[in-house]
Amino acid sequence: MNGYLALAAINLRLTFRDRTVIFFNYLFPLIFFFIFAQLFHAEQGGAIIQVLTMVLSIGILGTGFFGAGIRSVQDREANILRRFKVAPISPAPMLVASLLTGLLNFIPSAVLMAVLAHLMYGMALPERWISLSIFVCLGVLAFRAMGLMIASVVNSMQESQIVIQLIYFPMLFLSGATIPISVMPNWVQIVAQFIPATYLMNGMQSILGRQETLMENASGAGALILTTVLATFLGVKLFRWEKEEKIRGSSKLWLIAILAPFFVLGTYQAHSKESVIKARLLNRDLLRSRTMLIRNTRIFTGDGGVIESGSVLVKNGKIEHIYQGPAPEAKALRAEAVEASGKTLLPGLIDVHVHLASTGGLADSAADYQLDKTMPRALAAYLYSGVTAVKSVGDPLDQILKARTLVNSGQRLGAELFACGPLFTAPGGHGTEYFRNMPEQYRKQAEEQSVRVPQTPDEARREVDELKQRGVDGIKAILEAGAAGMLFKRLDPDILRAIAAQAHAQKLPIVVHTGDSRDVADALSVGADGIEHGSTRDKIPDALFAQMKAQGVTYDPTLTAIEGIQAVRSGSLEPLERPLVLQVGPAMVIDSTKKFLQSDAGAKMRDQLKRYPIDLQFARQNLVEAWRAGVLLVTGSDAGNPLTLHGPTIQREVELWVEAGIPSAVALQAATYNAARLLGAGHRIGLVKEGYEANLILVDGNPIKEIKQIESIRTVILKGEQIGRSDLLDQQ
């Protein structure tokens, strides 16, 4: 042990006498630190975490391959190692002393950069500093061991430079140390999973940015430890004291052995893509942590309030401060300036009633019905259109929960998704007709995913409990009995009462699909939290609206879907020709839908819909009466129904409301704060308010005076991230 310590002490003294080592170990990383900080605007938020981990990674790679690898070959070439050969010492202390020396040299540099990141760029001190320190030390030891191993298998300085460059540069450029992995092509991201430095970068960034523990990065840490042990063992076995001692070229194959842990990890990751996803999420965290100042704009707060001239500071994904009147300079706030003069800032719009399993049109290709692809794309189309949250009602359970995880985690960009579980209906009730023509082997599976048809109140309660365990955000039941030409069996009131009671017991909101005033009355009698559609066949009595207000029940008239159905009946294609629809709607779906509606099959469909009594005028009148009665109004489009494509649904919904006589401010409040309250998220979204998530849209002009301006979107912000709308619909 004394030999190990003595060698380490000698190496340290020699190191600090070497000005070249001091420059490359301390000053050189600082140059990269300030360059990267400038390039990534580290002063504007969490980018400083990325900068710090990039510079630490570059430093660790440098101390490993050049500080250990090249230096060891130089010592052998200069016959320095020969002098130790006559001493009573073996190769093991030589290599271990080099590992310890590199570690002790690197730690002060790492601490210095972390302190500068905190003092100069506002980075929070690491919460998991012990995990971070251990992980950094493991990285230094592993890469120095790799460098020493390379020195053991090369015969000259020229060989060492070639081998090290072949290993060093892929690690430098493909691991995220200089270019974020998430911006690279998918195949490059997969290749990066075979590179040791990728796990070094991801581990440090996860511990710093997500406050993960060492155990949460156990696979990367374990691979670094195993590589250190293997490389040190083989380095000892292959160690040579003199340059005249040559080694066979085949010995270089031992390098594969020390990289084997990462080949195994890479093979697993190429299949699971866990590390690729993690890198994407880490990058999303950084984008959402940026600080921006949206200044000199009109602000609609979401609860009816308007600030005619103000600015909003967004930081770490939330609204940090709202300035009424002049705001400080963006530079003084370390923020990116977003000029918004002549524009209006609103909370992100919310659609509380969509069917993601249906496109709203007809497609020629089976690929346009693959839910794994169509659901995420639809959610991206909503976000493109400034709709930052939607509630799915009655979509296939497994698929909708999968889509919710995908977008809500940040793996894919899209509107935040709330999942209202399979529809509760009667056997043969509305919702079951979609499966009648399916083959038996497919029908049962489709019904299990999309509907619940309890026969008794006890069965209904059990099914609500099961859906709660699956993680749904709400319950939907159907009372719709239809009318002449399209009749359905109606859900038994006692079963509906059991569903509602159990939903409330499980703290799940329940909304009820209604078709006429009788349905509305029954829904209110069991304690529904929301009425969907209201009535499209008769006038809802004033007493029922008064009851809605007293019970705090929301009202969602879904005028957009009704307009779409009436457009089909009349042969109009106008809903498909709106500018925002053409921007986000799949072009092939739009074209094939137009062709279908103009065909003989389309004419047959129009005849069928004409037999079903649905009247937009009744829906408009009932909406106005609900508003006059003080009912809590919310906006849902029922997208997925004929000619109601996913995307700019709420823009059309509020326009129809205003045409019906609802004030613009009331319609916009229904589309923001009121909708958030129905979703149970009114404490964090739906308002431009300090402490709320920064889900915001910036539009030209003043939609409070001219509601059509709600379609003139300039900027969409989701959880503090300024969305690049041009690439949104092409995500992989």
State residue 471's pLDDT score.
95
Give the 3-state secondary structure of residue 28.
Answer: helix
Nearest Cα to Cα of residue 698 among 687, 686, 685, 714: 714
Nearest Cα to Cα of residue 509 among 552, 543, 549: 552
**pLDDT tens-place string over residues 322-352:** 999 899 999 999 999 999 999 999 999 999 9
**pLDDT tens-place string over residues 292-313:** 999 999 999 999 999 999 999 9
Nearest Cα to Cα of residue 352 among 93, 677, 688: 677
The Cβ of residue 141 has, within 10 Å, a number of other Cβ atoms equal to 25
Q: What band does 29 get if pLDDT is binned at 50, 70 and 90?
A: confident
Residue 352 phi/psi, 5-degree rounding, is -95, 10
Residue 3 has pLDDT above 60, yes or no: no
What would the two tokens of residue 135 be?
A: 């992980």
How far is 160 from 163, CA to CA, in rounded Å? 5
Element (H, E) at 549: helix 542-551
State residue 229's pLDDT score.
92
Helix 397-408 crosses helix 440-450 at what angle (to 10 degrees)?
Answer: 50
State residue 11's pLDDT score.
63
State residue 692's pLDDT score.
98
Residue 600 has pLDDT above 70, yes or no: yes
Nearest Cα to Cα of residue 41 among 318, 328, 286: 286
Domain ranges of the chain: 2-287, 292-346
What would the two tokens of residue 648 be?
A: 């700019």
Element (H, E) at 323: strand 318-324
Q: Which residue has the tokens 């991801």?
A: 202
Integer angstrom CA distances of residue 398 from 180, 474, 701: 32, 15, 42
Answer yes or no: CATH 3.40.50.300 is held by domain 292-346. no
**pLDDT tens-place string over residues 179-198:** 888 888 888 989 999 999 99
Q: Which of 13-17, 132-136, 353-357, 720-724 has the lowest mean pLDDT?
A: 13-17
